[in-house]
Amino acid sequence: MDLQGTKEARTQEEGAEGPLEAYGGGKSRSKEYRKNERRDSHNHDDRASIHPLRRRQQPFAYPHGSQQTASSAVTRQREPSPSPEAIGIPQALGLSSREQRLLRKARRSPPVTKKTLSELDLPCIMSNINLRMDANFDRDLHFKPDLDGEKGKRKKKEAADYWDSLALEIAIYSFRAATADISIEEVVSTDGSRRTFDPRLPALFETLQDVIKTLVPERDHPTVMQNLEVPLLMQQIRKGVLDMLTLATWLAALLKTHCAPMRDEWADRMVEQIQEGSQSQDPREIVNGLQTLFSILEAMKLDVANHQIRAFRVLLIEDTVPFLQEYFQGKINRGNFHVEPARHWYLAVRDRAQQEDAQKNQTQPQNTATSETEDALKPIEALFRGITDQLLQFNPPDEFPETFLFDSERLWQLRSTIQNLINLDIAWYIFEAYVNKHKRYLSAPEETYSTFRTRIWSLMEDGIDMESRIASNPVANDDDPDHRGGKRWTQNMRCIALEIARFACAALQLDAVVADEVIAPIEEALEWHLSNESDLFRYFQNSMRGKVLDTTLASARRYLPLSPLAICESQRTPPSSSGPVPGSSSSAPAVSGSAGPSSQQLTPQVSDIERIGMRLAHMGVLHWRVWAPLLYLRDEITMADLAPALI
């Protein structure tokens, strides 16, 4: 590996229809690692898809319909013809129809191969756009196998079938070796043909040899080839004289020499499993040892890849903008990426922003010097206004602009966070309105709000606080496509209403047992305002819009002169405040089912809004540097003429 991996990767990528997505966290196809299916909308190469540990990625699923059915039918009709190396299934073993089917149809190669692990090679890492983007937002980015969702379940089942079929194959080899001088009656199918299967052990040993050679120095390659000589090993297996324990012991010693010390215990366990299987003549235990062996090899490759991510992190981040510009320009030139709708979207939001500013300036004249500074930031401010509107609208947008392809997960998560904060404000307002209706006022609103927020959030997020949610940036769950968070609130409606009622009873000094007459109006108001784009929602939506835009633009002003690495490092700076900030809500609309004046309303914690603003500004500034010269300001200025403050 050399430091020219970036240039090599670019050259390699130009011939592909999409990026070599080494993940997908997470930010992920023979052997896949975590990856974002949402990002696959542009013919992305399926050969490499790795995802960061913190991310839970969108599972892949075959669409229901005639194509799947037809494919299945073709598969059934095209059972592979036996090869010259095919082995007959002995009748004496009494294998079930399922076991025979596994021998004939399970995958031929191990779940871990040289090809699948090549996704973790440095050229793939350096050309991985998903990874480059995620490296800007996650300091602890690293890889792990993608075993989540439907695709992960399917992969685990395929792997389990492979290892089960391998155990049956070892049993057949043992049976044949033990009955070498006896004529073996083989299983016959209904049409009179012999039941045969293609052996997997030769491919397993070849794969083992290839993978180990990628993990050990070249000086050890002759020893590896000598000890893993496939024809010799297969000959010994057929004759029943292969010493698996000696082979396993040598493999463990070799791996311990080159892997991290934390893997030594794993290697010892592999030897113990194969020893136990050899002594008891239990093929299942031997296969368990082989399965452990391949898990060690995969872990070693992941260790190397994660080390490379740490070593090249600065290079990946600093090269983000030129790499993306080169990549997207190539896609656009080849006609593989249609971005004109995104340009029309930007021009529309910019025109709308100019109209709003013109109306505002008519009523509130600005200082000339300040106005000139702000005018220079108007183009990128329009971008933030447009994307903020999509984050705040009641119904989820159909999609974000195509130019946000590699930021879409982060935007969906920010939208979910913002909408949950709005819902929390609505719940707090309903609580205050009920208390005020009974002519009572909170003696310690800040302390009550803090406790209230913690209790409601624990119901919603299983104890995950706002800070960790935004920092970890989990990907939206496919099973919960409502990115506003409404589905989770609806599912917990009764519990949330009960919690609000408990707070109300405590504030009104009522009995500890909450009566139905207290819960009913609270639950009714909660359900209405969370399910409809009510005046109350619009009030808190507008309030949230102002806060998010102010904090985002303030962060963007700080980030514009900084390098991508400096912006990334600035995200570690703690927010200036972490406590709740009181605010007046005298103009808030009345809640259905309640009466009386509106009491003091507490806004979401400043730290939450600051984190949202910092993250959105981080995404927006990088996005602007890539797309302003390529698309948004393409017809107005060239990249050389672009104002330094906006680059």
DSSP state letters, 104-150: HHS-SS-SS-HHHHGGGSHHHHHT-HHHHHHHHH-TT--EEB---HH
Residue 4 reports pLDDT greater than 60: no
CB 29 within 8 A of CB 3: no
**Which carries the bigger pLDDT value, residue 401 or residue 38?**
401
527 residue type, one letter: E
Confidence (pLDDT) at 316: 92
d(CA 404, CA 363): 35
Are the C-beta atoms of residues 90 and 175 closer than 8 Å to each other?
yes
Residue 506, pLDDT > 60, answer yes
Q: Which of 431-435, 522-526, 566-570, 578-582 has the lowest mean pLDDT?
A: 578-582
Which of 387-401, 511-525, 591-605 is the most confident on average? Answer: 387-401
Q: What is the mean pLDDT of residues 160-189?
A: 86
Residue 567 has pLDDT above 90, yes or no: yes
C-alpha distance across the termini of the chain, in Å = 32
Q: What is the pLDDT of residue 485?
A: 58
Instruction: Give the pLDDT confidence of 277-335 residue by residue, as tens digits.
Output: 999 999 999 999 999 999 999 999 999 999 999 999 999 999 999 999 999 999 999 98
Higher pLDDT, residue 73 or 362 = 362
pLDDT for the residue numbered 602: 53
Q: How far apart are CA 134 and CA 186, in angstroms?
A: 55
Within 10 A of 308 (CB to CB), how many other CB atoms are there? 18
Q: What's the pLDDT at 336?
A: 87
pLDDT class for 204, splitting at 50, 70, 90?
very high
Task: Find out whether 630 and 342 touch, Cβ atoms under 8 Å.
Answer: no
Label residue 13 by pLDDT band (50, 70, 90): very low
Residue 6 three-state SS? helix
Q: Is the pLDDT of residue 449 over 80?
A: yes
What is the spatial distance between Cα 302 and Cα 116, in angstroms, rounded to a whole number?
Answer: 12
Here the tokens at position 347 are 């021009």
Around Cβ 174, how many Cβ atoms within 10 Å?
15
User: Who wins on pLDDT, 484 or 253?
Assistant: 253
CA–CA distance, 345 with 223 (Å, rounded to integer): 61
* pLDDT for res 75: 40
**Mean pLDDT of the residues in the chain:** 77
Q: pLDDT band at 244, cuts 50/70/90?
A: very high
Locate 462 and state its tokens: 């299983």
For residues 377 and 645, is the Cβ–Cβ distance under 8 A?
yes
SS (H, E, C) 244-267: HHHHHHHHHHHHHHHCCHHHHHHH
More confident residue, 97 or 640: 97
* Mean pLDDT (whole number) for 118-145: 88
Using alpha carbons only, what angle is made at residue 323 by residues 321 and 324, rounded to the nearest 5 degrees? 65
Quick one: average pLDDT of 465-478?
41
pLDDT tens digits for range 274-286: 999 999 999 999 9
Contact 263, 269 (CB under 8 A): no
Higher pLDDT pick, 202 / 79: 202
Per-residue pLDDT band for 601 (boundaries 50, 70, 90) equals very low
Token pair recorded at residue 358: 């013109």
Q: Is 636 helix (H, G, I), strand (E, B) or coil?
A: coil
In three-state secondary structure terms, 580 is coil
What does 23-66 look like in DSSP terms, one character per residue?
Answer: B-------S-BS--GGGGGG--BTT--BEETT--PPPP-PPSSH
DSSP per-residue codes, 279-316: HHT-HHHHHHHHHHHHHHHHHHHHHHHHHHHHHTHHHH
Give the rounded percent of residues in the chain with a pLDDT score beyond 70: 72
- Whether 65 has a pLDDT exceeding 50, the answer reads no
Sign of CA dihedral 279, 285, 287, 291: negative
Residue 107 to residue 163: CA distance in whole angstroms: 9
Q: Which residues contact residue 590 at a Cβ distance below 8 angstroms, ignoring those fewer than 6 apart?
A: 433, 598
Higher pLDDT, 489 or 584: 489
Query: Rounded mean pLDDT of 486-501?
Result: 83
Q: What is the pLDDT of residue 172?
A: 93
**Do the Cβ atoms of 17 and 336 come closer than 8 Å?**
yes
Task: Give the pLDDT band (50/70/90) at residue 193.
Answer: low
Per-residue pLDDT reduced to its tens digit, 137-153 = 988 888 887 777 788 88
Q: Is residue 201 predicted with pLDDT exceeding 90? A: yes
pLDDT at 373: 54
Instruction: Please give the residue that has the higher pLDDT: either 229 or 55.
Output: 229
**Least confident span in 326-335, 438-447, 465-474:** 465-474
Confidence band, pLDDT 50/70/90 cuts, at residue 437:
confident
| SS3 of residue 597 by DSSP | coil
Q: How far apart are CA 401 and CA 408, in angstroms?
A: 9
Residue 465 in this model has a pLDDT that exceeds 90: no
pLDDT of residue 252 exceeding 60: yes
Enumerate the domain spans of the chain.
5-61+84-181+195-318, 377-646
Residue 517: the pLDDT is 80
pLDDT of residue 355: 86
Is residue 119 over pLDDT 90?
Answer: no
Which residue would you say has higher pLDDT here, 169 or 81?
169
Question: From CA 486, how far away is CA 488, in angstroms rounded?
Answer: 6
Average pLDDT of span 423-445: 83
Q: How many CB atoms lie within 10 A of CB 42?
A: 14
3-state secondary structure of 87: strand
* CA–CA dist 116, 298 (Å, integer): 10
- How much is the pLDDT for 90? 87
